[in-house]
Structure 1
C-alpha cells in the first residue's frame, strides 16, 4: 500500500504495485472528473472474498479488486480510415504508401513506396503526425530531432474457451510482480492479452518475441494461477510502438503518456511534431494542433469535434429498440440480404453499412467460400473505396480477419485472388504479393500458412501503433 502511495506522490521511482489505496484514489478522481457527462455507475471496491466469488480462477493472493465502466474502440483501424475519408470529403487529398523524401526552400518532396514517382508541394506548414517515426520523418525534413522515446508493447490473441467464459464480457486489468499493468479482454470471440513495455530505438524492427509471449503468459499466471494457456491456442500476435516523449526516467512506466506539440522552423516552413497521443484524447489533441496552426495563419477554427459523429457513428441508433427499428428498416429496403448479414454489416460498419448496401443493390453477391461471414461484394467495395494496395491491407488494415484468427490457407488464397483480379496483376505480381504477405504474417504475427520461400524483405511492412482499447462493460483492476 505505502509503496504505491509513495510512487503516486512521486517519492519513489522503482517499479512497485500500486495498492488498493492508490487505485481507490485514482478511480474516485476518475468518477469526479467525468461526473458531468457520466452515463454509467461509479466504481466499486470489493473484498478478497467477493473477488474470489466472482472470479473462481483467481489466486488466493488477491486481497481486493475494483470495478468501473468505460467505453472501447473495437476496430481502431477502421476509425482511422473513416477519419481519412472525412478529410477527403472536406477537400483534402489522401495518398497511401507515400513518404517524405526531402524539404528544400519550402518545396516538400513526397514519393510513393517504390520511389517511382515523386511530386513537390509548396508549403509553409508541415504537420508531422507519424507517431514513433516522428524523429525519422523530421530527419527527412532536414529538421533532425530527438523528441521520441518509444516503447514496444506486445500482445497475443488466444482461443481459450475457459478464459473467455471466466471474463464473461469484462476487461481485466492486473499488476504483475514488477508493478507493470497488464490487460486481457474478450476480442471477437477470442481473448486479447498484453502487454510488454520495452524501450526500442528502431520502431521498424519490432516483433513480438517468444520471450515476450512467455512473459505475458507467466504474468497472467500470477493472477489466474488455475488457468492453462498453451502455445497452440495463440492464433495471432502483434507488437506496437508507443509514441512516447524522450525524457529521463528510471523505468519505462514513468514516461508520461500525455501528448504535446513541438515546433521547428526550416527557412520559412514551420514543422509541427505531434508527440504522444492516444485514441482516448485524439479529438482534443487534433483541435489543439489545429488551433496552433490556424493562429499562425491568422485564422480560427470554425468547428468543434467534441460531439461530432464520425463515419459509421453518424445517426447511430444508441438504444436496443432504436437498433431493432433501424435494422428492420434496412431489411425492408434491402430484402435480398438476410437479417444475419444485416446485423453483421451493421456491427462492422455502423450506419456506413448503408453505402455498402447501396453499392450491392441489385447484384448477385455471394459469401466467400472459405469465410462465409464476408462476401465477395463486401471486399470488392473495400478494394474500390478504401485505398487498398495489397492483400495485407485487406487482411490487417481494413478488416479484422487476421486478428480474429480466421485466416486459413484457403481464405488467404481466395482473398488474395480477389485483390489480384481487382488490380489485374500479372502472375509475377500476384506471386510477389502473396510471398510478401505470407512472410509478414509469419514474421510479425506468428501466422504460418504454407511454406513459401522467404522474400528478402517485404516492401510493405505493417507498423502498428498501440491503440488504447477499452471494453464496454465492467473493468476490473486487481491489487495483489
Structure 2
C-alpha cells in the first residue's frame, strides 16, 4: 500500500480472498458478500526490504538517529500500535541521554486508565457491572456499555453524576450510552469531529445498531458542545460517506 495510511480500505479482491480462505477452512459453511455486514482495514508500517514476500520482513521496530542541521532527529521505523509504550520509553531514554538527564519513572508500573482495581476471576466483570447498576440506579445494559469504553472509571462517572434531567440521562438513539456520558467524552477527550466521536471515542463504526438517527443525535451533542460552522446535517452526511467508504456500511 503506497498511499496515505488513512486512505486504506478493504478492496473487493481482499474480501474475495478472505471469503475463499473461509471456504477452505469451513467448507460446510456457505458465505458470500451478502453475509458481510461491514469491513475495516489498516496499514502496518514495515521497514524497506528487497525481499519479495512481506511475511519475511521484520515486524519489530527500530529508531534511526541522525543529525540534521546540527540537531538530533529520531525516526521510528516499523512497529505497530502495541509498540507505543515501549517506543515512548525508548525515545525518552535516547532524548534524555542527549540532554544528560536520566528518566525517573517507568510506564511499566502505570496502569492503563480504566484498569485500576480491575475485577478478576470467573464472571467478576459482570458481577461488578451488576453492582454498579444497583448502586447507580442505571440499567445493567447502560452500565455495561459505559464499562466497555472506560472500564473501572465507570464507577467514578456514575458517582460524580449530578442526576441531570431525564433528557440528559436518556440514551443516545441506537445505543445504551447516556447522553451526558457522551458529553463527558466530548469535553474530556477534546472531540471536534463526528467521525472521531463515532470511530475512535465510542467505537460505534462496526456496531450493528448504529443508524442515521444515532449519528444525528451524536452530531447534535457535538454541535452544542463545540459550535462550528458545519451544520448537523453536514456532519451526518460526511460521517455516512466515510462509514460507507471505509467500513462498507451500506445501511447508512
Counterparts of 1:342 and 1:424, CA distance in 2: 29
- Does 2:218 align with 1:404? no
- Does 2:153 align with 1:352? yes
Instruction: Give the corresponding residue for 1:343.
Output: 144
Conserved 8 A contact 1:359-1:381: no
Counterparts of 2:23 and 2:73, CA distance in 1: 47
Instruction: Give the corresponding residue for 1:101.
Output: none
Counterparts of 1:331 and 1:205, CA distance in 2: 41
Q: Secondary structure at the match of 2:153?
A: helix
Conserved 8 A contact 2:46-2:59: yes
Instruction: Give the corresponding residue for 1:247.
Output: 49
1:135-214 map, 5 Å: 199-214=1-16
Deviation string for 1:226-259 (max 9, x for gaps)? Answer: 1122323222212211111112112111111011
User: Structure 1 pair 422/246, CA: closer, same or farther in 2 (3 Å)?
Assistant: same
CA-CA distance at 1:429 after TM superposition = 3.1
Conserved 8 A contact 1:396-1:402: yes
- Does 2:247 align with 1:445? yes
Q: TM-score, normalised by structure 2?
A: 0.86
User: Structure 1 pair 248/260, CA: closer, same or farther in 2 (3 Å)?
Assistant: same
Conserved 8 A contact 2:216-2:232: no
User: Structure 1 pair 405/326, CA: closer, same or farther in 2 (3 Å)?
Assistant: closer
Instruction: Give the corresponding residue for 1:371.
Output: 174
Counterparts of 2:191 and 2:86, CA distance in 1: 29
Counterparts of 2:123 and 2:43, CA distance in 1: 41
Which structure features the higher share of helix residues? 2
Conserved 8 A contact 1:244-1:256: yes
CA-CA distance at 1:449 after TM superposition = 5.0
Counterparts of 1:391 and 1:355, CA distance in 2: 26
Q: Secondary structure at the match of 1:311?
A: coil
Counterparts of 1:243 and 1:303, CA distance in 2: 29
Counterparts of 1:431 and 1:339, CA distance in 2: 33
1:13-52 map, 5 Å: none
Q: Secondary structure at the match of 1:244?
A: coil
Deviation string for 1:374-429 (max 9, x for gaps)? Answer: 22112111111112111111110111211223322222222222222322345x53
Counterparts of 1:379 and 1:319, CA distance in 2: 30
Using CA pairs under 8 Å that are at least 6 residues apart, name the structure with larger relative contact order, 1 or 2: 1
CA-CA distance at 1:367 after TM superposition = 1.5
CA-CA distance at 1:328 after TM superposition = 6.2
Conserved 8 A contact 2:129-2:143: yes
Q: TM-score, normalised by structure 1?
A: 0.48
User: Structure 1 pair 409/331, CA: closer, same or farther in 2 (3 Å)?
Assistant: closer
Conserved 8 A contact 2:216-2:233: no
Conserved 8 A contact 2:19-2:32: no
User: Structure 1 pair 359/237, CA: closer, same or farther in 2 (3 Å)?
Assistant: farther
Counterparts of 1:274 and 1:350, CA distance in 2: 31
Conserved 8 A contact 1:244-1:276: yes
- Does 2:32 align with 1:233? no
1:59-74 map, 5 Å: none
Conserved 8 A contact 1:312-1:350: yes
- Does 2:195 align with 1:395? no
Instruction: Give the corresponding residue for 1:276.
Output: 78
User: Structure 1 pair 338/443, CA: closer, same or farther in 2 (3 Å)?
Assistant: closer
| Gapped regions of structure 1 (runs ≥ 5) | 1-198, 451-480
